[in-house]
Amino acid sequence: MKTTTITFISDTHSKHQMLKDDLPGGDILIHGGDFMTSGYSEQEAIDFFKWFESQDYDSCIFIAGNHDRIMQNEPEKMRGILTGYKGIDYLEDEELVLYGDGPNGDFPEGNIRMYGSPWQPEFYNWAYNLPRNGFELEMKWGAIPDNTDILITHGPAWGYLDATIYRPNMKLGCELLRERIDEIKPKIHIFGHIHSAHGYYFNGHTHFINASVLNEQYNYTNIPQSFEWDSITNQIKWL
């Protein structure tokens, strides 16, 4: 079985150039949102798009986060701009199928089904916020296909890499997202949002990856996580 080399990053907050020596290249690069600072500058977004497309990966996939306000405030305009970047895929409550029955080719090794969503429980007056434990958020997570292999959300699920260094005993993840993940059991869940919870956890069926590369002070401290992944056995080998 062919393995897939994947690198996970999140919460670069316009400091993406700092990662240049820590991205090994490979099959897939996934960004879990918050690629901007305050999130209003079109030029700041374009700078990220250009950088992201230039990386040495066959597929570069990203979602928005709560800092990426322009993606929610001006969706049609930003979608139009993104049409000029053929080497990247932006997912907002959307599925992407690689290596299989989607528009991305047909390989005998099987397909990889991804789903990306930017929403998270309400956090001040940021982008892509919905009331915690509300019907709207439940509907967002209910739209995640049952057969998703790699789930990309900006925020964590409740109980998995979702506590800050300031309140280590307080879980900040989404309870409704946790319920959906427990139900469908994706093979990989990649997210960010809680910078100081950067890390990895495996619960027996899902690899949870908090891919935040910046710490709580917005300094680049966390090297991107990369591994070779067998999509059939769900086994990984760290790089």
Average pLDDT over residues 211-222: 98
- The whole-angstrom separation of Cα 198 and Cα 174 is 16
Q: What is the pLDDT of residue 125?
A: 85
Mean of pLDDT over the chain: 95
pTM: 0.95
pLDDT of residue 103: 46
Torsion sign across C-alpha atoms 185, 158, 91, 131: positive
Cα separations in angstroms, 140 against 24, 94, 115: 33, 11, 12
pLDDT tens digit sequence for 61-75: 999 999 999 999 999
Predicted confidence at residue 138, as pLDDT, reads 98
Euclidean distance between CA atoms 74 and 113, whole angstroms: 28
pLDDT digits (tens, 9 = 90+) for 189-212: 999 999 999 999 999 999 999 999
Show the domain range for 40: 4-238
Residue 1 pLDDT exceeds 60: no
pLDDT tops 90 at residue 43: yes
Q: What pLDDT does 2 receive?
A: 77
Least confident residue range of 1-5, 157-161, 203-207, 228-232:
1-5
Percent of the chain with pLDDT over 70: 95
CATH code, 199: 3.60.21.10
Confidence of residue 101 (pLDDT cuts 50, 70, 90): low
Count Cα atoms within 13 angstroms, Cβ side, for 2.
11
Q: How confident is the model over 97-123, as a mean pLDDT? A: 76
| DSSP codes joined into one string, 12-72 | -TT-GGGGTTS---EEEEEE-S--SSSS--HHHHHHHHHHHHTSSEEEEEE---TT-HHHH
Please, are residues 153 and 177 in contact by the beta-carbon 8 Å criterion? yes
Confidence of residue 105 (pLDDT cuts 50, 70, 90): very low
What's the number of domains the chain is made of? Answer: 1
